[in-house]
Amino acid sequence: MAQSNAKPDAAQTSAGQEFVITRSFDAPRELVFKAFTEPERMKQWWGPKGFTVIASKMDLRPGGFYHYGMRAPDGSTMWGKMVYREIVRPERIVLVNSFSDEAGNITRHPMSPNWPLQMLSTFLFAEHDGGTILTIKWSPLDADETERATFGSGHESMRKGWGGTLDQLAAYLAKARPD
Amino acid sequence: MPADRLSTTFAALADPTRRAILARLALGESSVTELAKPFEMSLPAVSKHLKVLERAGLIARGREAQWRPCRIEPGALKVVDDWLERYRRCWDERLDRLDQYLRAVQTKVRRRGRRT
């Protein structure tokens, strides 16, 4: 049987890519894909420990969405929404996820107004050695309107997201001090 | 809804030229002319990039009439770094739970198989 799960590799970035995380699972690809695409399965692992799913509605098709509510141990509720863009069974899911409210509107992070409004997320499922390698890429979607106006519609790099050595740069610069 | 701070910052960082400018400014402040040198780019084009970086709070520009030195604002990137860290951790925990779930499901299936 395949080896025990190596812990990430965590956040690797490669030039020109969005922020990336990879993980391997000792499970067939179809099962991992199902874990992401069946609401009864999502309930089992998506929310943090101690959270109860209080509502869950999934319409799995491009343009459809998954809307869910979770109750935290302290009684507060959090809603999330994933709007699907692409679904290619069993290898790829592209969606936009964001915080939501009970009515299904897109909202900001309840506790952090500076959290990006929407995240474009890509999930890739690859077979490997009897198991599955999951690759998750994401980037914030809500680019500044002025930004787009400044550079015109041809400026693709903004829409694709940010990437490459970003977190290395961020970490380095966060420690750098202008002297 | 207006863009949030973090998204504006990410948009500013989405461009390799701007990231390169920031990397250069991490070494010390500089003039626009100096910054433009490594790129085959006109000064107005570089200035556009600087404006984006400035609006995102990633750089600050001095007010001296002739020479407006650019300097980096490392605090802005710390916000990005902190956010990356939190998001990464959030996903780490979630994927741990996914791993447990997948194992549990398969164990159940195997047990059922043995009983029949």
Domains of chain B plus CATH, in order, are 5-115 (1.10.10.10)
What pLDDT is stored for residue B67 in this prediction?
Answer: 77
**Per-residue confidence (pLDDT) for residue A12, from 0 to 100:** 32
3-state DSSP helix/strand/coil percent for chain B, to nearest 5? 70, 5, 25
**Banded model confidence at residue A114, pLDDT cuts 50, 70, 90:** low
CATH number, domain with residue A53: 3.30.530.20
CA-to-CA distance for B39 and B46, rounded, in angstroms?
9
Instruction: Assess if residue A41 is contained within a domain.
Output: yes
CA distance, residue A40 to nearest chain B CA (Å): 12
Of B11, B23, B102, the CB nearest to A144: B11
* Beta partners for residue A139, in sequence order: A120
A94 lies in which domain range? 20-139
Smallest Cα distance from B36 to chain A, Å: 18
Tell me which residue of B91, B5, B101, B78 sits closest to A121, measured CA to CA.
B91
Per-residue tokens: A45? 């692992």
Return the pLDDT at A173.
Answer: 55
Confidence of residue B19 (pLDDT cuts 50, 70, 90): confident
- In this prediction, residues A88-95 reach a mean pLDDT of 97
Judged by CB atoms closer than 8 Å, whether chains meet at B103 and A27 is answered as yes
pLDDT confidence tier of residue B7, bands split at 50, 70 and 90? confident
Asked whether the predicted pLDDT for residue A66 surpasses 80, the reply is yes
Q: Write down the ipTM of this complex.
A: 0.73
Higher-confidence residue of B114 and B105: namely B105
End-to-end CA distance of chain B: 58
Cα–Cα distance list, B66 to A41, A126, B31, B48, B62 (Å): 63, 57, 10, 18, 10
Task: Name the nearest CA neighbour of B102 among B113, B114, B110.
Answer: B110
Identity at A12, one-letter amino acid code: Q
User: Is A164 within the bounds of a domain?
Assistant: no
Residue A78 lies in a domain: yes
